Structure 1
Amino acid sequence: MSIDTIRRYFDAFNAKDVPAMLDCLCDDVAHHVNEGQVRIGREAFAEFCAHMSRCYDETLTEMVLFEAEDGARAAAEYMVNGAYLVTDPGLPEAEGQRYRLPAGSFFSLREGRIARVVTYYNLADWTRQVAGEAPQ
């Protein structure tokens, strides 16, 4: 069941267990990053995770999972609770700022593994939060 794969993927994310996340992915996974380039393959995904772990400490809560009837696609809506640890190039300076941000992911599955993951969140909202600006 695809929802089990998605649940394992997010459980591994929250446990900061990148090898367990990678185990949920197809070798040729297409990783569509919010406002970024598509990365292809597990190695590119692992490199992205290493970068994210260095710059951010995030936990996902309020998880709601959805699954298409045929099990080939799934989606998740959740809250990202994080701390901005190290300045990410092109973004505001990191000073340990905390943030809370709604986000969602969409998945395609093949043979019980994730073949495509697309993640969306509001970058302008995140930027306002880490800059200490009032919500609009």
Structure 2
Amino acid sequence: MSRAAVEAYFSAINAERFAELAGVFADDVEIRTVGAAPVVGRDAAIAHFAKLLAGYAEHDDRVTRWIEAGDAVVTEIDFTGRLRDGRPIVFSALDVFDLREGRIAKVATWYDTRDVRRQVLAS
């Protein structure tokens, strides 16, 4: 059951179907991304992802590894995308999901922020 919520999360993120994304989050979901302030609450999380993904003309989070342990799921991800100006962006990430009653209660995302910043700011 826990993996199903995480699979639904990636499906919704990749297709930018935010109503579906809201359906997999607990009301008090917490989004933690390395180097950023936490985002707390379902509505805040949806707004966060909508704003974040608006910078991409295309994007895909491809899960390359799943680790499941009780109410936690860890995923290794290969992200590929293209910024609005057409430049490509590629990086690897690790997401840790904590689940409660079949919904995502917390997502912690880890990636090389320096490399991503370099790619985004390159001209």
| Alignment TM-score, normalising by the size of structure 2 | 0.89
2-side partners of 1:84 and 1:5: how far apart? 28
What is the aligned-residue RMSD (CA, Å)?
1.5
Deviations 1:112-134 (A, max 9, x none): 000000111111112333426xx
2-side partners of 1:97 and 1:124: how far apart? 17
Paired residues for 1:45-124 under 5 Å = 45-56=45-56, 57-68=58-69, 70=70, 72-85=71-84, 95-124=85-114
SS of 2:35's equivalent?
coil
SS of 1:31's equivalent?
strand
Which amino acid is the alignment partner of residue 9 of structure 2? Y
Deviations 1:88-136 (A, max 9, x none): xxxxxxx33211100110011000000000111111112333426xxxx
Give the length in aligned residue pairs.
121
2-side partners of 1:34 and 1:97: how far apart? 23
Q: Is the 8 A contact 2:21 2:46 kept in 1?
A: no
| Structure 1: runs of 5+ lacking an equivalent | 86-94
Structure showing the higher strand proportion among its residues: 2
Deviations 1:46-104 (A, max 9, x none): 11112112212321125322110x2x11111011101222xxxxxxxxx3321110011
| Alignment TM-score, normalising by the size of structure 1 | 0.81
Residue of structure 2 in register with 1:43 after alignment = 43
2-side partners of 1:114 and 1:22: how far apart? 10
**Where do 4+ consecutive residues of structure 1 move more than 6 Å?**
none
What percent identity do the matched residue pairs reach? 31
Offset at 1:42? 0.6
1:11 and 2:11 equivalent? yes
Q: Is the 8 A contact 2:61 2:77 kept in 1?
A: yes
- Structure 1 or 2, whichever has the larger Rg, is 1
Residue of structure 2 in register with 1:2 after alignment = 2
